[in-house]
C-alpha cells in the first residue's frame, strides 16, 4: 500500500482532519532535525532534552521499537509517528501510573511539551495558534470519546493539565499522566 493510501486509511480510522494531520506533520518536522523525512533516535533524544524531558538514550531506543515504522536504524517515518500518536491503546497507556507505560508515553510527552512551548511563546502567530487548536481538538475529542472519565491529558487547556492531574488523582486514586510532574 502506498504511503498516501496508508495516510488516508489512518485519517479515516481516527477521524483526522487535514488540518490535524498538518499539525502532526509540523510536530514531526520539529523532531526531524535534519529534515530527512525520518526521526532518528539521536534527533528524538536531542529534542526531548531540549524540551526538558529527562530521558536516557536507552529509553529513547526502547520507545522507538514500539512505533510501527521503526526499523533497525532506529528511525521513525511520519506515517509511523501518526499511527502511534493516534493509537487508542497507546493513548490509554499514557494515562496510567504504571512505570512500564513511561516508554509508551515518550512521544506523547514530546508532543505535549512542544505544544506547551508554542503556547507560551511571545510570538503567537496564526499558524502556531492553529497548530495548538488542531491538536487540542483532536485529543479533547479522543478523551471525551474513549476516556470520558479522565479529562486530564489535553482537555480544554494544556496549561491547566497539571491542576487536572491533581484532581484526577484525588477523584480516581491512580489516574495520572506518566512522567509529567
Query: Which residues, 6+ apart, have CB-to-CB distance to 15 below 8 Å?
Result: 141
Q: In the structure, what pLDDT confidence band is assigned to residue 38 with cuts at 50, 70 and 90? A: very high
- Give me the chain's average pLDDT, please: 74
Mean pLDDT of 11-34: 88
Q: Quick count: other Cβ atoms within 10 Å of Cβ 100?
A: 9
Q: What local confidence, expressed as pLDDT, does residue 2 receive? A: 55
CA–CA separation, 91 and 141 (whole Å): 12
Q: Where are the alpha helices (DSSP H) in the chain?
A: 3-13, 18-31, 41-50, 57-64, 78-85, 88-93, 102-119, 126-146, 161-172
Q: What local confidence, expressed as pLDDT, does residue 9 receive? A: 78
Query: Which residues, 6+ apart, have CB-to-CB distance to 89 below 8 Å?
Result: none
Q: What local confidence, expressed as pLDDT, does residue 37 receive? A: 92
* Main-chain dihedrals φ then ψ at residue 123, nearest 5 degrees: -95, 90
Q: What local confidence, expressed as pLDDT, does residue 47 receive? A: 95
Nearest Cα to Cα of residue 38 among 29, 51, 46, 47: 29
Q: What local confidence, expressed as pLDDT, does residue 152 receive? A: 44
3-class SS of residue 75: strand
Q: What local confidence, expressed as pLDDT, does residue 96 receive? A: 66
Q: In the structure, what pLDDT confidence band is assigned to residue 156 with cuts at 50, 70 and 90? A: very low
CA–CA separation, 83 and 88 (whole Å): 10
Mean pLDDT of 10-21: 81
Amino acid at each position: 500500500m502506498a504511503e498516501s493510501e496508508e495516510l488516508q486509511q489512518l485519517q479515516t480510522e481516527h477521524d483526522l482532519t487535514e488540518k490535524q494531520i498538518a499539525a502532526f506533520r509540523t510536530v514531526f518536522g520539529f523532531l526531524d532535525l535534519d529534515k530527512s523525512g525520518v526521526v532518528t533516535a539521536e534527533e528524538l533524544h536531542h529534542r526531548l532534552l531540549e524540551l526538558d524531558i529527562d530521558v536516557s538514550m536507552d529509553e529513547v531506543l526502547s520507545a522507538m521499537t514500539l512505533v510501527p515504522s521503526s526499523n533497525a536504524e532506529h528511525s521513525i517515518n511520519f506515517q509511523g509517528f501518526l499511527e502511534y500518536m493516534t493509537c487508542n491503546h497507546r493513548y490509554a497507556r499514557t494515562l496510567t501510573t504504571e512505570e512500564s507505560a513511561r516508554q509508551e508515553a515518550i512521544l506523547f510527552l514530546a508532543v505535549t511539551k512542544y505544544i506547551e512551548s508554542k503556547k507560551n511563546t511571545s510570538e503567537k502567530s496564526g499558524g502556531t495558534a492553529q497548530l495548538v487548536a488542531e491538536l487540542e481538538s483532536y485529543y479533547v475529542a479522543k478523551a471525551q470519546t474513549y476516556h470520558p472519565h479522565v479529562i486530564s491529558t489535553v482537555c480544554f487547556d494544556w496549561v491547566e493539565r497539571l491542576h487536572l492531574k491533581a484532581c484526577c488523582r484525588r477523584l480516581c486514586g491512580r489516574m495520572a499522566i506518566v512522567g509529567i510532574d
